[in-house]
Structure 1
């Protein structure tokens, strides 16, 4: 059976699979608050009030004691006596045998009425009769820990945020799909020591064969996939995972109620000191070149490869990524047909030495880093997305601000059947708020054409920087999913994706289209929306839209 995730919305939602509609949800960090006042001698450092276990077994409150003394911790109903005459880190818990998976602090058994309430609590750390530290919280999020000294304070248990990692002067190859389906396979086919592949879905048999061949020649091979993709795991993917596991590949599946991310959604691989980052899934429609417009980048860089390997290790070494064999019988599968399209190569790969590469990850740092890059764009911003979450989404607001200050902004969205209506509605809503035709913001909704089947790429070109990765422009992707992207500052790479974008922008389609321009003209091939806005505040609206990818 497909396991549920923390705060996975009920109802319809377009997240990495199909068009779904949902009632808006409040992010857990926004729904909870915690306040602390601390002193140097002792502090409350960590809380875990709401684990996904029977009777909340494993809940704890952690403290750090710098000076020995008569220390106690109380929730107002029960009191825990901390070790007298000792310093260090301690956790007050009713179930010390259950806390080792979450913290290595010394357990102190809490008896009596000491218990962390999910609905809210006030804890006080005392030294004798003096209160040294106080923390209060409301509505503890499920399977999340509160920690002092980090923002946001509440984060999924087992999740350690990373800062962006930047390297200089790296050899890179930029490519696009469906033009170059050989590129992602060639990036991993010569691994000698390590080959790690992170995926939302994996069904491209060419990739599977490379993984098995690497394992056969003694390479350390590991795979991590999403265990509950929208719509269910396909029978083809389950068969592929069976094949990999039988060949000795370490296959991990992110699944379960305590999963740190709503969806494991990145598309990257590490082959020795080579890294490949994609917007596309490892399946025929994506890396197989049979359907989607996607962007990809290969980097010959030990620094980039090591950072992605670090993310992979972080994501595969906790309790929410069990071995495939252990959960195989619990996961239901569904039938699905593979894409079979064929498209010509309009854009061969281009190789160069990039000035700078920065690895970004969500929910760690990607959204804020992209906002900063857009805010610093001076001349041109190109955005390609399957869809955009809503008119008030943070990255869209940043793009509008760029247009307001004179940056040429173009946004290309998917016109495929499950996204066309909402994408067109979003663009029309912007057009209805046109107040100044001199503001250079344009949106196009692209239909299928002879260049690709549908828009699935998730990237930007901001002056001389291109960003390629799995991040969809919606709150769920940025705040709840695991996503990975790479920002490349280099004129050659930026010009390459600019050329691809311009070709896609201008391309017609076979199915006809319509115009939302004031003139009412009916061009074929593209649904075209030219919009101009006078300020970002014109985008504020009550309607809630969520898009991601299929």
Structure 2
């Protein structure tokens, strides 16, 4: 789909606009960008032939051994890098080079050619200024303060400080391909059927996994000789259930490769993605692999299967990126540290009003957070002309960027409807949000919000979906800052009129159900302070105090 291309160009343009708007453009052709996580500035000469592209000052090693600064040289010359105390002379050739005092240790962090620095070259955790020079002339300078632990500074990323081991991805689009769109609880067999009969590979990414049927399919695939790998979140909100621990025990005993993402230095606040790679097909869900989700026993959820090797390969690359760093631990090693909790399973039964739709989609694009989903969805919403349908359990705040884009769409005449949950834990905040939106849009006829209670069609809203004209977006992304900026989330954007109409029909049925309650935007209600505030926590596992950002499932 054309609207999801040219990402690199837009990112560079966005950075330039932000720099100009913030007054960061400085004389002499350089730019200086400051960031909240470990303040940093960057100045480059106009038309420079070399640049500092990465700094890793604070690895989690004794004496920070392995710290380095990476430079990219476009032409040979007399190049040097200095921290003011030590200097490294770079090879007289083009390419990328990692300047370090400890080349062997640095090789465990980067594949870039290491260049050993002499003298007292050392990257101070409390702050440093690094200079790249050619023939003694300053070409590039990077300064930082208080380098965050186990994070790397990257030149062309926003924010510049990002967890080590995280490599942002661009969206990847596959052309015309067969897809199956389905919804839950109407089609509980679809997710299991999508992962069945794997012969070569079966990678399953999960926030939680308690479905016995799914575990049986994983073990059966392993017994057939397929490579079976599972990655789960090691510390879900509310703790890991006793049932999930038993399911993972069984998988590991059967020989499947099971990992948990965990630890205070994890690259993502939560591994919240829900997808599978099955040979040359892929399935992406809004639901967890458990009875209330894929089992069809409670949640309204959306899902899609894609029969395209390119899409499967791209998701396989995401899985390998996430499952092969030092924040993922084998279940056999992690098991002894897990304290489980007893949690009830859903046992509801619902009508099957919407059978799956199989068709050929015009294109499918893989989106991931925190890599690219924000700007891609904002662009999608900005280009919407006629209809914008949004289903979410809740939305973090009235100034959430995707919601602001939706309100701008309503202002220009797009029919915008937002369907939210009405459970005990989100009803008040959703009511308050509707009132806030009404104040900002002055009761626009183009913006309507309802709270859905299911009325026999489902137990609760858990889907995270968008229909924007003829594009549908299906995935794990909750509309809050934590999900967008900190979690690992995966979604597919399917550009096809039939697929968009399928999800729109489901949306319309849920919208018009007797169990929905329309919220008259514009009527003032008191905003609950706890719902609108953000509780900051230093520890990763305490990040669920704020209800809008809490990852329940």
Fold shared by both chains (TM-score > 0.5): yes
Deviation at 1:427, TM superposition (A): 1.2
Confirm or deny: 8 A CA contact 1:272 1:305 kept in the other structure: yes
Indicate the residue corresponding to 1:61 in structure 2: 69
Q: What is the SS of the residue equivalent to 2:318?
A: helix
**Size of the alignment, in residue pairs?**
499
Q: State the alpha-carbon separation in 1 of the partners of residues 283 and 371 from structure 2.
A: 20
Deviations 1:38-58 (A, max 9, x none): 575543232012223454343
Select 1:290's aligned residue among 274, 288, 297.
297
Deviation of the 1:171 alpha carbon: 1.2
CA distance, structure 1, for counterparts of residue 114 and residue 71 of structure 2: 11
Name the counterpart of 2:360.
353
Aligned CA distance change for structure 1 residues 542 and 495 (closer, same or farther; 3 Å):
closer
Correspondences of 1:133-144 after superposition (within 5 Å): 133-144=140-151
Paired residues for 1:291-306 under 5 Å? 291-306=298-313
**d(CA) in 2 for partners of 1:28, 1:449:** 48
Q: 1:438 Cα deviation (Å)?
A: 4.6
Deviations 1:335-359 (A, max 9, x none): 2222222212121111111122111
Deviation digits for residues 18-54 of structure 1, max 9, x if unmatched? xxxxxxxxx9766633313157554323201222345
364, 388, 396: which is aligned to 2:371?
364
Q: Give 2:315's aligned residue.
A: 308
Match of 2:133 in 1: 126
| Pairing 1:451-462 to 2, within 5 Å after superposition | 451-462=457-468
Could you tell me whether the CA contact under 8 Å between 1:29 and 1:155 is conserved in 2?
no
| Matching residue of 1:449 | 455
Q: Is the 8 A contact 2:390 2:418 kept in 1?
A: yes
Of residues 385, 399, 403, the one that matches 2:406 is 399
1:171 maps to 178
Q: Give the deviation of 1:230 after TM superposition.
A: 1.6
Tell me, in whole angstroms, the C-alpha distance in 2 between the residues paired with 1:83 and 1:463. Answer: 53
Instruction: State the Cα deviation string for residues 213-234 of structure 1 (Å, max 9, x = none).
Output: 0000101111111112122222
Query: What is the deviation of 1:89?
Result: 4.2
SS in 2 for 1:322: strand
TM-score w.r.t. length of structure 2? 0.84
| Alignment equivalent of 2:56, drawn from 34, 48, 57 | 48
Gap regions ≥5 residues in structure 1: 1-26, 510-525, 534-540
CA-based RMSD: 2.6
Question: Normalization by structure 1: what TM-score?
Answer: 0.84
Q: Secondary structure at the match of 2:176?
A: strand
Deviations along 1:458-482, one digit per CA (max 9) or x if unpaired, are 0011111111000111111111111
Structure with the greater relative contact order (CA < 8 A, sep ≥ 6): 1 or 2?
1
Cα contact 1:80–1:92 (8 A) shared by 2: no
1:145 deviates by 1.3
Q: Which has the higher helix share?
A: 2
Q: Which secondary structure does the structure 1 equivalent of 2:329 belong to?
A: coil
Q: Distance in 1 between matches of 2:432 and 2:507?
A: 22
SS in 2 for 1:484: strand
- Asked whether the equivalents of residues 235 and 333 of structure 1 are also in contact (C-alpha less than 8 Å), the reply is yes
Work out the CA distance in 1 between the residues paired with 2:243 and 2:68. 42
More displaced 10-residue stretch of structure 1: 455-464 or 254-263: 254-263
Shift of residue 399, structure 1, vs aligned partner: 0.5
Q: Which residue matches 1:439?
A: 445
1:483 equivalent to 2:489? Answer yes
1:76-100 deviation per Cα after TM superposition (whole angstroms, max 9, x unaligned)? 3x21333676775443334444322
Distance apart, 1:127 and its partner CA: 4.5
Mapped to 2, the partners of 1:277 and 1:141 lie a distance apart of 33
Structure 1 equivalent of residue 538 of structure 2: none
Which deviates further from its counterpart, 37-46 or 82-91?
82-91
1:531 pairs with one of 514, 517, 521: 521
CA distance in 2, matches of 1:484, 1:197: 12
- Gap change, CA 1:88 and 1:359, over 3 Å in 2: closer
Contact 1:357 1:486 in 2 (8 A): yes
Change (3 A) 1:349 1:88: closer
Which range is displaced more, 35-44 or 387-396? 35-44
Q: CA deviation at 1:531?
A: 1.9
Residues 503, 42 of structure 1: CA spacing in aligned structure 2 closer, same or farther, 3 A cutoff?
Answer: closer
Q: Cα deviations across residues 385-443 of structure 1 (Å, max 9, x unaligned)?
A: 011111101000000001001111110111111111211111122234563x4531011
- Map of 1:430 onto structure 2: 437
Structure 2 gap segments, 5+ residues each:
1-33, 524-530, 535-545
